Amino acid sequence: MKRIIITFIVLWNISCIPALYERDKEDLQLPEQFQNWESSEKAIKLQTEIWNQFFNEPQLISLIEIAIKNNQELEVLEQEISIANNEVFARQGEYLPKLSLQADVGSEQKERFSTPNANSPTLFAHGGLVMSWEIDIWKKLRNATKSAYLRYLASIEGKRFVVTNLVAEISDTYFELKALDNQLTLIQNYIEVLSQVKEIVVLQREAGRTTSLAVKRFEAEVSKNLARKYDIVQRIAITENRLNFLLGRFPEKINRTSDDFLEITLPEIQKSVPIDLLENRPDIKQATLILESRKLDIEVARARFYPSLSIDGNIGYEVFNSKHFKGTPVSLAYGLGGGIIAPLINRKAIEANYATANNLQIQAVYNYEVSLLKAFTEVTNQIVKIKNLSQKFEAKNKQVQNLKESVEISNILFKAGRIDYIDVLFSQRDFLEAQVEAFELKYSLLESNIGLYKALGGGWRGQNEQDSERKNGTF
């Protein structure tokens, strides 16, 4: 009869589990290759490349090392990892027997006609071990532990993704700083050249070969570029402060050498195939782990509809008076029992938790797909940018070379009185603008290479990851 009742309760609870909502669209599939995909024999494989090998700038490598050590955001994520690790141990402890030590001492006065000698108070004492153990017959507790462990792994991937972004942002800011240094040098040199030409124009005015208009034009050009110089100085200061913030320290001078900026090269990356994003990108791995965790959470929520079996027991010594304590086995007391608990009436909370677990799983699916779309789009964009910027930079270098020659020719012709001052001014101005644009294009090209490195999942390898070794449990 008892078996029939238990079977009925189980079947009734299973039959009353509400249906889950399923999304009405197909799963997102990764394309087989990137657009504008090209391969190269000299390209490096990202799987084995770490940031201190990818970047060949000792000063930049030093800054990245400081940031990984001192950045406050990484320290915050480190605590998140510890919290997730603690949750794993907490969940794991729930499906182990709970053993505690219990001791009771007191006096009891019973009702007059209950037992013989009821009028006199009774002293009692009890001490021993108490055990309670919920048998995990539906894997509810073990699945909850697995889910917590997957969230712990996801927190590690989350930190790796932040490290990836941090390395890329520091590199971008560092190269931007070097580009601004060179632009400042160009402006200063241009102002000096203009001042020298202005002196020649002043002499020509005194000799009656030109008018004051020429002098004023050069003076105006000098003033304009002085204002431009102060703007670049301000941008350099702000960029330095932003870089120091990423390093986790107060503003200070960033030691750097900027003369070789145009000669900086980064290794060519093997673009591989989109499926490698699943192994390289920490954000995709994080989304995958969270999705697996949400699936287990549904199983945990489903198991709450089923009856739970628990075993309770105790063993110890018990006496009503210390004078009668005789030790083992006379004063030994023990008990063992089992119980089944099944939800029959208050099911609304369980149904709500079950529906929430399902919604969180669907949300995790969409987050995973967003990560895939974002990763694929980022890689595609960077491939196109690198290709176009490389061609544009090459064309800009030719323009700079031609303008350099035109400036040299214009200076010779101006001193010989063959051309007017305005031709010299325009030649110098065009040469300056072309050089500034060349440095901006170089920075954009480096930025795109770093962006591709990050988009393909580079930048997190090479850090000390002791956190990943804290929890190596198997389930």
The model's pLDDT over 301-316, given as tens digits with 9 standing for 90+, comes to 998 888 888 888 888 7
In the chain, CATH 2.20.200.10 covers 99-135+308-341
Q: From its phi and psi, is residue 239 left (phi > 0), alpha (psi between -120 and 50) or beta?
A: alpha
In the chain, CATH 1.20.1600.10 covers 25-95+138-306+347-469
Identify whether the C-beta of residue 163 lies closer than 8 Å to the C-beta of residue 286. no
Residue whose tokens read 């030409």: 197
Identify whether the C-beta of residue 447 lies closer than 8 Å to the C-beta of residue 172. yes
- Of 10-24, 194-208, 382-396, 437-451, where does mean pLDDT reach its minimum? 10-24
Higher pLDDT, 418 or 450: 450
Tens-place pLDDT, residues 178-192: 999 999 999 999 999
For residue 467, name the pLDDT band (cuts at 50, 70, 90): very low
- Of 102-106, 156-160, 370-374, where does mean pLDDT reach its minimum? 102-106
Higher pLDDT, 465 or 400: 400
- Of 35-39, 159-163, 225-229, 375-379, where does mean pLDDT reach its minimum? 35-39
Q: Give the separation between CA 179 and CA 441, rounded to whole angstroms.
A: 10
- Four-point Cα dihedral 455, 459, 460, 461, nearest 10: 120
> Domain 99-135+308-341 falls in which CATH fold?
Outer membrane efflux proteins (OEP) (2.20.200)
Higher pLDDT, 228 or 133: 228
pLDDT reported for residue 108: 63
pLDDT reported for residue 60: 95
pLDDT reported for residue 279: 82
Q: What is the mean pLDDT of residues 83-109?
A: 82
pLDDT reported for residue 223: 94
Higher pLDDT, 207 or 234: 234
Which residues are CB-neighbours of 366 under 8 A, at least 6 positions away? Answer: none
Answer whether CATH 1.20.1600.10 is correct for domain 25-95+138-306+347-469. yes
Please check the confidence at residue 15 and state whether its pLDDT lies above 60. no
Q: What is the mean pLDDT of residues 434-440?
A: 97
Please check the confidence at residue 346 and state whether its pLDDT lies above 80. no
Of the ranges 16-20, 86-90, 126-130, the best mean pLDDT one: 86-90
Burial code (b: 16+ CB inside 10 Å, e: under 16) for 15-27 equals eebeeeeeeeeee
Q: What is the mean pLDDT of residues 113-118?
A: 54
Q: What is the mean pLDDT of residues 265-284?
A: 83
By CB atoms closer than 10 A (0-12, 13-18, 19+), residue 219 is: middle
- Of 331-340, 393-402, 420-429, where does mean pLDDT reach its minimum? 331-340
pLDDT reported for residue 232: 97
For residue 246, name the pLDDT band (cuts at 50, 70, 90): very high
Mean pLDDT of the chain: 84
Model pTM?
A: 0.84
pLDDT reported for residue 88: 94
- Which residue type is seen at 246? L
By CB atoms closer than 10 A (0-12, 13-18, 19+), residue 6 is: middle
